[in-house]
Amino acid sequence: MTFLGTSSAAPTRNRGLPAIAVQREGEVVILDCGEGIQRQVINLGVGLNKETTILVTHLHGDHVTGLLGLIQTMSLAQRSKPLVIVAPRPLFKWLQVTSELLNVGLTFKIEFVPAKLGRILKTKGFVVRGTKAVHSVEAFSYVLEEKTRAGVFHPERAKALGIPEGKLWSRLQRGRKVVVNGKTIYPQEVVGNPRPGRSIGYSGDTRPSARFSRFFSGCNLLIFDSTFRGEDRDKAIERKHSTCLEAATTAKNARVEKLVLTHFSARYRSVSAMVREARGIFPNTIAAHDGLSLTVDYPIESR
């Protein structure tokens, strides 16, 4: 995953408006769509004709103004694959009206999916779930859950059962039974229990909420609104954002593996103090910056 923009309402010299690209096996999921995202996507080499889903958290300009430009750039590149957009329902009207007024000639189909509570949709590699965020307008937070993986294959068990290596091993790994010397052998005899996939949580703009402890529970990576330092909590409350301390507390309560702070107010020249504050509560914390790329690894598993 790559952070394309990490500022809040206004860009700075070093930070663009909110956008994150998650890439997995040729599939792209974009989290929010700040102004200038199409240039960032091109620089990153994400590709404009891949299977793409865009998740928009809410209808504030810093999170959506890049959407129209990205769609136009995709059309100029002769995109042919459908584009899936998940967002609060009013976004669809805004996009339709602006596209017509600016004569954006689409070369592909746009599939709109209204954001909602619970399971929203299933992509090639992920299940997307949503919950309500606590912001000044209707807003959602999302979790991307990778689909369950097959269990670990145990070749020593297969050999002990007299199963020749090759197609029959592959068949068992895919969950199919095989017959060897007249005896039926089932996958569970040589394959371990199914393993959960990786998961990413994304808050968007929000105040902290008790529901996030459950919603983000166990995420491998949590990306959370950290607009303000702890000492500026009054501003965070007034503007319906979170502080770095509140982000860290959320990560701790949800027992996530790693926390990434982002969506920083332009008032701060450096965010290093915010990281130090957050690490006092949740040690495995880092700050995002434009261009930061992270790999979410599978956990090391014992055999």
CA distance 35 to 12: 12
Q: Where in the chain is the domain with CATH 3.60.15.10?
A: 2-148+196-287
Q: What is the pLDDT of residues 20-74, one digit of tens each?
A: 999 999 999 999 999 999 999 988 888 899 999 999 999 999 999 999 999 999 9
Quick one: pLDDT at residue 46? 82
- Of the ranges 35-49, 118-132, 198-212, which one carries the lowest mean pLDDT score? 35-49
Among residues 32, 62, 205, 225, which one is catalytic?
Answer: 62
Decide if 62 is catalytic: yes
Which CATH homologous superfamily contains domain 2-148+196-287? Ribonuclease Z/Hydroxyacylglutathione hydrolase-like (3.60.15.10)
Quick one: pLDDT at residue 303? 47
Give the burial string for 265-292 (b: 16+ CB within 10 Å, else e). beebeebeebbebbeebbeebebbebeb
Instruction: Tell me which residue of 8, 4, 63 sits closest to 239, measured CA to CA.
Output: 8
What does pTM read for this prediction? Answer: 0.90
**Cβ atoms of 250 and 215 closer than 8 Å:** no
Contacts of 98 (CB under 8 A, 6+ apart): 68
Which pair of tokens denotes residue 187?
């996958």
SS3 state at 33: coil
